[in-house]
Amino acid sequence: MTFELQHSDSASDARAGIITTDHGQIQTPIFMPVGTAGTVKGVHFSELRDQVKAQIILGNTYHLYLRPGLDILRKAGGLHKFNTWDRPILTDSGGFQVFSLTGIRKLREEGCEFQSHIDGSRHIFTPENVMDTERIIGADIMMALDECPPGQSDYQYAKKSLGLTQRWLERCVKRFKETEPLYGYNQTLFPIVQGCTYKDLRQDAAKHVCDILGQLNDGGGASIGGLAVGEPTEVMYEMIEVVNEILPKDRPRYLMGVGTPQNILEAIERGVDMFDCVMPTRNGRNAMLFTYEGTMNMRNKKWEDDFSPIDPDGCYIDQLHTKAYLHHLFKAQELLAMQIASIHNLAFYLRLVTDARQHIIAGDFVQWKRSVIDKLGQRR
């Protein structure tokens, strides 16, 4: 993998670049639709390619490990062959999913024991077997196994957790170097910066990740994890600034699990290149649409006789169907409602980062961001 930094904004830390993988190029800043179990919920891959304009999607190690399982994925020739997505894929390590299963998991030095949410069976994730699992899944970009502590963790817990994450990271790197890709194309490992909301821990974590990136020397970037888990938004932005001050400028930076359109623009201004979040599809399935003019609840009666396009500047589906029709579909509880809303939201998120990229290159990103950010959060 390579990362070419093409343009740095003179008035902020925003950047435009190109990531090149064996499955194609990714123009940054980029939003990555979440395809947890090998699918982006409710959206065909043809729609992801042609309407959403997705350049890379996510898969999740935890969910794919449990179902369909590693044997099926190995026989299929990896996730790309299994689901027919021919562009880049990134896999999360499953650390966040295991973290969110508090009560049915046990952390220890070796790894993390957990019970399957499907059938209650017991499993363990170690740095070594997660690397092996991600090799079998075959994503272009792999995440290291980490612990994601709650946003309100006290300092001592956060420090202990970071120590465990750093030791796990070193074991991940060792296993990654000992193994080879299984399907004839290269894979890249991204370490994850943790440290909760404590400045000194985030700084320590970022410095450690810099050392690891030097060891890997494979063109990969770094992930910023453990944010958007309950801490105030201002604190999240501060932690991004603290970390990005230390991370190398010639590597991509990935902010995990974030967030709203406003969050994304604020993080781009602070030097983040890559984003993922379930919000576009999850909110879409619940009738909430994101637009440059604000959010729309398509169940509201005000849309009942609005025969204007869903979004006149949006993708083909947005221009084809009316607000009244989508309102009707949600009221009738038709599956197509959730599909149209998901496509719209994902296409909007991709449009947002594409517009941001164009304004970074044009040199007026900060002015453009100021002109759109307040409206993004309004309710229509």
**pLDDT digits 0-9 by tens, 187-230:** 999 999 999 999 999 999 999 999 999 999 889 999 999 998 88
Rounded mean pLDDT, 123-133: 97
**What pLDDT is recorded for position 283?**
98
pLDDT over 90, % of the chain: 92
Rounded mean pLDDT, 77-101: 92
Q: Tokens 């699918």 — which residue?
A: 39
**Tokens standing for 147?**
């612990």
Which of the residue ranges 28-37, 41-50, 113-122, 240-249 would you say has the lowest mean pLDDT?
113-122
Residue 303 DSSP code: G
Q: Are residues 189 and 239 in the same domain?
A: yes
- With bands split at pLDDT 50, 70 and 90, how would you rate the model's confidence at 119? very high
Starting at the edge strand found earlier in the chain, the sheet holding 15-21 runs: 2-8, 15-21, 24-28
* Final residue of a structural domain among 231, 255, 275: 275
Q: Are residues 98 and 64 in the same domain?
A: yes
Of 310, 258, 254, nearest to 279 (Cα)? 258
Q: Looking at the annotation, which residues are catalytic?
A: 92, 276
Q: Are residues 296 and 155 in the same domain?
A: no
**What pLDDT is recorded for position 196?**
96
List the CATH number of the domain containing 34.
Answer: 3.20.20.105
Q: Are residues 170 and 54 in the same domain?
A: yes
- With bands split at pLDDT 50, 70 and 90, how would you rate the model's confidence at 295? very high
**What pLDDT is recorded for position 96?**
82
* C-alpha span between 240 and 257 (Å, rounded): 13
- With bands split at pLDDT 50, 70 and 90, how would you rate the model's confidence at 98? confident
* Final residue of a structural domain among 275, 310, 340: 275
Q: Are residues 307 and 246 in the same domain?
A: no
**pLDDT digits 0-9 by tens, 129-146:** 999 999 999 999 999 999
Higher pLDDT, 219 or 170: 170
* C-alpha span between 297 and 283 (Å, rounded): 10
End-to-end CA distance of the chain: 42
**What pLDDT is recorded for position 230?**
84
108-140 burial by CB neighbour count: b if 16+ within 10 A, else e?
A: eeebbbbeeeeeeeebebbbbbbbbbbbbbbbb
* C-alpha span between 159 and 11 (Å, rounded): 35
Q: Are residues 130 and 237 in the same domain?
A: yes
**What pLDDT is recorded for position 373?**
98
Rounded mean pLDDT, 246-259: 97
Cβ atoms within 10 A of the Cβ of 311, count? 22
Rounded mean pLDDT, 333-359: 98
* C-alpha span between 7 and 364 (Å, rounded): 12
**Tokens standing for 196?**
């909760």
- With bands split at pLDDT 50, 70 and 90, how would you rate the model's confidence at 102? low
**What pLDDT is recorded for position 103?**
66
- Where in the sequence is the domain holding 325, given as residue range(s)? 284-376
* Final residue of a structural domain among 246, 275, 304: 275
Contact criterion met (CB below 8 Å) for 34 and 276: yes
**What pLDDT is recorded for position 293?**
97
**Tokens standing for 41?**
């919920």
Write out the DSSP string of 91-108.
EE-SHHHHHTTTTSEEE-
**Tokens standing for 79?**
């996730």
Q: Tokens 């990740």 — which residue?
A: 209
Q: Are residues 250 and 119 in the same domain?
A: yes
Average pLDDT, the chain: 96
Q: Are residues 249 and 371 in the same domain?
A: no
Q: Are residues 141 and 49 in the same domain?
A: yes
**What pLDDT is recorded for position 12?**
98
* Angle, CA of 94, 172 and 20, to the nearest 5°: 80
Contact criterion met (CB below 8 Å) for 94 and 130: yes
Q: Are residues 297 and 269 in the same domain?
A: no
Rounded mean pLDDT, 150-172: 95
* C-alpha span between 260 and 205 (Å, rounded): 26
Query: How many domains in the chain?
Result: 2
Q: Are residues 252 and 300 in the same domain?
A: no
Q: Tokens 């869903």 — which residue?
A: 310
Residue 338 DSSP code: H
Q: Which amino acid is at 159?
A: K
Size of the chain in residues: 380
Rounded mean pLDDT, 2-20: 98
Q: Are residues 102 and 120 in the same domain?
A: yes
- 95 has a pLDDT exceeding 90: no
